[in-house]
Amino acid sequence: MRIGIVFHKDPFVPPAGIDLVRLRAIAGGLIRRGVDAEIIAPAKKEGFIDGDIPVFPLAAMEKGRRYDLVKTCYHFSIQLIGKYRGSLISRIVRVVDEQLPERDAAMRGTLLECQRLIQNGAQALIVNNVENQKRWVGLYGRKLLVAKIPNGCPTHIPPIRSNPYGNDSAPVLFLGSLAAPRMIELLNELAWRLRDRCRIHIVGSNKAHMYSGGKPPELTPLIADHGELPEEEVWDYVRHARMGIALAAGPHRFDNDISKIYTYLRGGLPVLSEELIANNHLLAQTRLGSIFAHGNAADMAKKAADLIERPPAQYVHSAMALMEREHSWDRRVTALLDLCQKVLGKS
């Protein structure tokens, strides 16, 4: 089986956010299963990532390379498949409609057009959670197979290395993208309220300007912003933090699938998570964390202080084992292969 994975940006360009982490995990997992998988992306030249995952420029779609199936990774990837009309599986993070999410107002027309292309050209759609499964079926019906294949975490993680936080005695980690102005506002408030107890560190990109409709708020100097870092360095920040923070992008559960929770828990890091986050069931599974009321800064600060002062250390090892056993990338690759067989069986 030859599978082409269409990605929306150049995978050779560092650093690696969750989009590239997922791409490498899925493509590499397929190759280890004996699948002839390759990435097609807006890359300047052919090459390999992670040593054995082939990458081809977008021209590969136009030169008649034969694929049994093509998989697109995000909304915009569907616009890159050119004249390909074979078996197609698409994946999107959130299902957009004419009103929701509010933060997608500037890109709504393009996102809706991508969904129309998926509905008309794909045989199956992958989403991260049940909420988006239901939204797609409600908007577009049951023409496509709609499969839930969430993000995951590595089976093996790097050993603990040196502490990147220096002299900070109680580092608190926000990992991932700042995807809404409200996230900055909440982090600033938490940093101020707990300024004598901890310091917040951000590892990820600040994309709030894309959703703000204007200039977003600035981060307080009380917060250390490290930007995006290579994946192997990210684990150092996870393993040495006292707590990880997960914040909602907005007021709708379907728009709040927070992939960083998988990383926190796989690294044994207690999580402070906001209500309306779709992945909060993982905190119930692992008992490694706490949930604060949506938008409630006082509740956030109180529960953050509780986790810092009384960490649930007794659940760390069982949580790490559960994430490895039930939520690994290997499990996600198996689910994808099952879906590919269903699509090819129908084609």
The model's pLDDT over 242-270, given as tens digits with 9 standing for 90+, comes to 999 999 999 999 999 999 999 999 999 99
Q: Do 136 and 189 fall within a single domain?
A: no
> Rounded to an integer, what distance in angstroms lies between the CA atom of residue 316 and that of residue 267?
9
Q: Backbone dihedral region of 268: left (phi > 0), alpha (psi from -120 to 50 degrees) or beta? A: left
Q: What is the DSSP letter of 3?
A: E
Do 237 and 262 share a structural domain? yes
| Residue 347 reports pLDDT greater than 90 | no
- When the pLDDT of each residue in the chain is averaged and rounded to a whole number, the result is 95
pTM of structure? 0.95
Confidence of residue 87 (pLDDT cuts 50, 70, 90): very high
Question: What does the alpha-carbon distance between residue 319 and residue 304 come to, in Å, rounded to a whole number?
Answer: 19
Q: Is 162 inside any structural domain? A: no
The answer to whether residue 160 sits within a structural domain is no
Q: Residues 61-64: contacts with CB within 8 Å, 24+ apart? A: 61/4, 61/6
202 and 296 fall within a common domain:
yes
Whether residues 253 and 336 fall in one domain? no
Report how many domains make up the chain.
Answer: 2
Max alpha carbon distance in the chain (Å)? 62
pLDDT at 213 over 80: no
CATH, residue 298: 3.40.50.2000
**Is there a single domain that holds both residue 239 and residue 293?**
yes
Q: Which domain holds residue 203?
A: 171-326
Return the pLDDT at 60: 86
Beta-carbon-side half-sphere exposure of residue 303 (alpha carbons within 13 Å): 21
| 218 plus 306 within the same structural domain | yes
The packing angle between helices 181-193 and 297-309, to 10°, is: 60
Q: Is 165 helix (H, G, I), strand (E, B) or coil?
A: coil
Report the SS3 class of residue 13.
Answer: coil
Q: Which residues contact 196 (CB under 8 A, 6 or more apart)?
A: none
Is the predicted pLDDT of residue 172 greater than 80, yes or no? yes
